Structure 1
Amino acid sequence: MTIEAACPLPQGSDAPADESLVELLARARTVAVVGASPDPTRTSHRIAVWLMEHTDYEVYLVNPVAGDTEIRGHAFYAALEDIPVDVDIVDVFRRSEHVPPVVDDAIEVGAPVVWMQLGVRNAESAERARLAGATVIQNRCLKVEYARLADRIEAFED
């Protein structure tokens, strides 16, 4: 299997233009990491920790089987609907075929951004989220995009 087959390269249609990404990342205050893992070897764990350490976002961890574990003092929630605040970005660490119920939950809680991590794409779910008014990013890493645009995010003015 080629690298491209395992993790398709990002396409222009996977995300809005940089100007829009800067604005949505600058305006966001809360990120729910769906599929976050308590296992420090997992990418979802490392990205959640990076977001906690390198951004001002309130980070919420969502994993129905994580139980009473936590990451750096952040407890896990069983579902998006259990998070006690409005979520600005739903960061999805689930295989592409498992995205539809996550998008349904994101729509239900009114999340304005659905972000599918690198290697994750689901065209039908993306379209459903867009029709519900959400901005959709697919096959992009939130950490990579934030780090790439950090200077512009920090300089962003309303």
Structure 2
Amino acid sequence: MPLTSDEDIRDLLADARTIAMVGASDRPDRPSFRVMRFLQGHGYRVIPVNPQITGEHLGGEFVFRDLHQLGDPIDIVDIFRRSDAVGEVVDEAIAVGAKAVWMQLGVVDHAAAARAEAAGLKVVMDRCPAIDIPRLGVARIAA
């Protein structure tokens, strides 16, 4: 069952250091662009993942094609994709050993969430960390 309690979500956000953002955009008018900047401004390392802009730099980070290319441990995979594309991203998150998957506002896939949970990942669905961080008073200090 996806995390829904404020305490569980606060703990996940407070403990996280590295977030892989699948669907990160280089366009300032896109929500993923703004959320990436917000998260970076709150001390998270956000690694952008987008096959359309692979090899570019976004927010000071190299843009990767997929999660398999990342060599660093991932605390949260933040998914900025349509609900029908979530299953593949979740399977990739499981394969690379991510600790959690976070489906953005409007993004829901119960079957993918169940697979992630069965593999031991925490799941947040239909929420935005840029809303929850200030709402929950999450204070992070960059490592």
TM-score over 0.5 for the alignment? yes
Deviation at 1:43, TM superposition (A): 0.7
Higher relative contact order (CA 8 A, sep 6+): 2
Aligned residue identity for 1:90: V
CA contact (8 A) 2:54 2:63 kept: yes
**Cross-structure match for 1:97:** 84
**Of 118, 121, 139, the match for 1:154:** 139
CA contact (8 A) 2:2 2:113 kept: no
Deviation at 1:72, TM superposition (A): 2.6
- Report % sequence identity: 42
Runs (4 or more) in structure 1 with deviation over 4 Å come to none
**Cross-structure match for 1:9:** none
Deviation at 1:71, TM superposition (A): 2.0
- Give the distance between the partners of 2:49 and 2:8, measured in 1 at CA: 26
**Of 31, 36, 43, the match for 2:31:** 43
Deviation at 1:14, TM superposition (A): 5.1
For the pair shown, which has the larger CA radius of gyration, 1 or 2? 1
Aligned residue identity for 1:154: A
- Residue pairs, 1:1-158, within 5 angstroms: 15-53=3-41, 55-150=42-137, 153-154=138-139
The more displaced of 65-74 and 19-28 is: 65-74
Deviation at 1:142, TM superposition (A): 1.2
Normalising by the residue count of structure 2, what TM-score does the alignment of the two structures yield?
A: 0.92
CA contact (8 A) 1:117 1:141 kept: yes
- Give the distance between the partners of 2:135 and 2:47, measured in 1 at CA: 23
Q: Report the RMSD for the aligned CA atoms in angstroms.
A: 1.5
SS of the residue corresponding to residue 72 of structure 2 reads coil
The Cα offsets for residues 124-158 of structure 1, whole Å up to 9 and x where unpaired, read as 000000100111111001110112112xx339xxx
Normalising by the residue count of structure 1, what TM-score does the alignment of the two structures yield?
A: 0.83
- Give the distance between the partners of 1:14 and 1:125, measured in 2 at CA: 11
Deviation at 1:104, TM superposition (A): 0.4
CA contact (8 A) 1:64 1:79 kept: yes
- Give the number of aligned pairs: 140
